[in-house]
Homo-oligomer: A and B are copies of this chain.
Amino acid sequence: MSGEGPLRVAVLASGNGSNLQALIDGPHERGTIELVGVASDKPGATALERAGRAGVATSVFPRDDYADRTARDLAIAAWLEGLGVELVVLAGYMQLLSGEFIRSFSNRIVNVHPALLPSFAGLDAVGQAVAHGVRVTGVTVHFVDEGVDTGPILLQEAVELTYTRPMEAVMDEIHAVEHRLLPHAVELIAAGRVSIDPENPRLVRIEGA
């Protein structure tokens, strides 16, 4: 997947950007990837400050500046292509992406989701898991397809839920797992160790795993 030099990675984020920070402090600092751009739909997103502090180019694509999602996503795609982006990481990006965008970066978009997919897709996955009364939830890093959190699964890690555990403690552990799992997944891709099984597009091969 990677050409000359480290993999060129961009991040789309809407909020705090703690997963972006994990990518900055890990793979970007280590030089295993090069973060070349961070885009947000929210002008005030903390993720943009984090990118700025790390000297990474930023751009804002507010929903209201565009006729529709397709037009906005075309602008984002053009910006990313201008930066020579090889991999797009969704890190708390709260907008749905258009089918055109997803197809134009086919198998080059990854997302981190705070549940063991296919359980608890969509919003408030941790709240869904707690309400369902599961004992084990976790984190999934997956490639993004046109469904909601339905794409081929790259990495997952389990997190135990005990009935009595305060929600904040659960959230903290899930975030800690995200901050470890997402950089690991991105580094596996950067190392060229990740491929989709040609015989079964649901299966993600990880060389040496």
Please list the residues of chain A having a beta carbon within 8 angstroms of any beta carbon in chain B.
116-119, 131-136, 138, 140, 152-158, 162-164, 197, 200, 202-206, 209
**Provided the pairs A162-B209, A163-B209, A205-B163 are in contact, do residues A132 and B156 lie with their beta carbons within 8 angstroms?**
no
Using CB atoms, name the residue of chain B closest to A115: B119
CA distance in complex: A197, B132 (Å)? 12
Using CB atoms, name the residue of chain B closest to A120: B118
Using CB atoms, name the residue of chain B closest to A203: B133
Whether A209 and B164, one on each chain, are in contact in the complex, defined by CB atoms closer than 8 angstroms, is: yes
**Provided the pairs A132-B202, A135-B153, A202-B132 are in contact, do residues A116 and B119 lie with their beta carbons within 8 angstroms?**
yes
Listed residue (A133, A204, A205) with the most chain B CB atoms within 10 angstroms of its CB = A133
Instruction: Write out the residue numbers on chain B whose beta carbons fall within 8 Å of the beta carbon of A202.
Output: 131-133
